[in-house]
Amino acid sequence: MRHIAIVGSGPAGYYTAEAAVKKWGDDVRVDIFDRLPVPYGLIRTGVAPDHQSIKGVSRRYEKVALSDNVRFVGNVAVGSDVSVEELQDLYDAVVFATGAPNDRSLDLPGDHLANVFGSAAFVGWYNGHPQFAQLDPDLSGKHAVVIGMGNVALDVARILSKERCEFDGSDIVRHALEALCASNIHTITILGRRGPHQIMMTPKELGELMHLNKASPRVETVDLPPVDDDAILEPGLRKSVTLLRDFAAIPESIHGEKPITIDFDFFASPTALHGNDGKVREVEVERTRVEAGRAIGTGETYRIRADLVVSCIGYRSSPIEGVPFDERAGRFANDGGRILPGLYCVGWARRGPSGTIGTNRPDGYSVVDLVDEDLVGGSPKRGRSGFDELAAARQIDVVTFRDWQKIEEAEEAAAREGAPREKFTDVASMIAARGG
């Protein structure tokens, strides 16, 4: 028998559990810990609420969760409720699938001003993450600046520009829906240090900007390289750049019909945030040019109005006591997923914040191969029975998968018409919903 503890119930955690069960069948017991009482990580709290088909991947994880040898151990934070050392005493392998939940800091003068948020916080707010549900961004100003040229920036810009009926069928949480519907924002500037050929935006997400009821995207033709230069791009990026060219060709009359503009400001590196009364009002930007793929400052600066700033410039993992951490890269120090024999990492905790949900799958499968290499001989460890004793002695209120199903039923029962669920946004309500 092998006893595996997986820390984190997002995609990387569940793919690892799936791989473990495929490899060892009845010879493995897997416990998947999560600090929240609800599973699935960023599938629940990151992926946009109006992208329900993507969230459907959780049905695959549910199958894994319901297999006999896997269990969900929710509401247990590893590093505080239970230490890594304790898990190592009980399990043959501890696999960190803790993601990268912290915003990379902007590190600019003025980044402390009110109404400046990182995307983990802002996305967590509209997706009902208990840590950020109380964020209460002020949307009464006219101008928003979104920093970054990836899909998260597109999610944020799109969510900021939708009207109520465009959220039909989504699971956006009620507090965010009401705030967004009362929003006054009418320009959203997406700022990127580099040019159209360096964006990290995928065609599907970019294309959605063409179909918004109230908003239209605007690209300046001068920012686009000669069309022949697109030939060297890989096909996905070429499609994205073609969409930017389509945006540049949108006639003024169409912009005039829609009250919100989503402006792409390329070759624009933010250098400072300015405010008054403690609140952000402007972003100072330096023009850049791109040389060998790098943004070089030109010395020319200008300011953009900004009543709200959301930076979407990447994430860092949280270190956990006793686990080697690569401070520079912002993730666990590892070699192909192995931190040390017996200690592993997968997903964003291993690679940093890149790729799609599916990119986490091979991580899970390859780490199970590493565990197999490292595990020699039978296991003397106690696994889940040992953890249950520890949890009882420490009075840890563990949330099981069955409990989660009750929470899910309550969220579904509370859904607005046409919505899949109304999420609980605080831990106490989640725990209460599982009943006695």
Ligand X SMILES: Cc1cc2nc3c(=O)[nH]c(=O)nc-3n(C[C@H](O)[C@H](O)[C@H](O)COP(=O)(O)OP(=O)(O)OC[C@H]3O[C@@H](n4cnc5c(N)ncnc54)[C@H](O)[C@@H]3O)c2cc1C
Amino acid at 113: L
Q: Which region among 184-192, 246-254, 270-278, 345-353 touches ligand X (by CB under 6 A)?
A: 345-353
Q: Which of 61, 348, 387, 404 binds ligand X (CB under 6 A)?
A: 348
Q: Which of 37, 49, 99, 275 binds ligand X (CB under 6 A)?
A: 99
User: Per CB under 6 A, does 148 bind ligand X?
Assistant: no
Q: Which of 20, 30, 32, 36 binds ligand X (CB under 6 A)?
A: 36
Q: Which of 4, 17, 32, 78 binds ligand X (CB under 6 A)?
A: 78
Cβ atoms 307, 316 nearer than 8 A:
no
User: Per CB under 6 A, does 12 bind ligand X?
Assistant: yes
Q: How far apart are CB 212 and ligand X at their closest, in Å?
A: 17
Spatial CB neighbours of 48, under 8 Å, sequence gap ≥ 6: 54, 123, 127, 155, 158, 159
CB closer to ligand X out of 97 and 295? 97
Q: Which of 2, 35, 193, 197 binds ligand X (CB under 6 A)?
A: 35
Q: Which of 21, 64, 94, 97 binds ligand X (CB under 6 A)?
A: 97
* Cβ neighbours around 368 below 10 Å, total: 28
User: Per CB under 6 A, does 272 bind ligand X?
Assistant: no
Q: Which region among 45-53, 248-256, 324-332, 422-430 touches ligand X (by CB under 6 A)?
A: 45-53
Q: How far apart are CB 413 and ligand X at their closest, in Å?
A: 23
The continuous run of DSSP H or E covering 404 comes out as: helix 401-413
For 285-315, b where at least 16 C-beta lie within 10 A, e where not — what string? bbbbebeeeebeeeeeeeebebbbbbbbbbb
Task: HSE, CB side, 13 Å, CA atoms: give it for residue 291.
Answer: 4
Q: How far apart are CB 99 and ligand X at their closest, in Å?
A: 2
| Nearest alpha-carbon partner for 120 in 41, 9, 52, 3 | 41
| Nearest alpha-carbon partner for 184 in 138, 226, 145 | 138
Cβ atoms 111, 105 nearer than 8 A:
yes
DSSP structural state of residue 305:
E
Q: Is 265 helix (H, G, I), strand (E, B) or coil?
A: strand
| Nearest alpha-carbon partner for 422 in 174, 100, 165 | 174
Q: Which of 1, 54, 254, 392 binds ligand X (CB under 6 A)?
A: 54
Q: Which of 4, 5, 6, 7 binds ligand X (CB under 6 A)?
A: 7
Amino acid at 122: F
Q: Which of 2, 13, 172, 343 binds ligand X (CB under 6 A)?
A: 13
CB closer to ligand X out of 5 and 108? 5
- Each residue 151-170 as x (binds ligand X by CB under 6 A) or -, in order, gives -x--x---------------
User: Per CB under 6 A, does 133 bind ligand X?
Assistant: no
User: Per CB under 6 A, does 47 bind ligand X?
Assistant: yes
Backbone angles phi, psi at 258, to 5 degrees: -115, 130
Give residues in contact with ligand X (CB under 6 A).
Answer: 7-13, 33-36, 41-42, 46-47, 51, 54, 77-79, 97-99, 101, 123, 152, 155, 320, 347-349, 355-357, 360
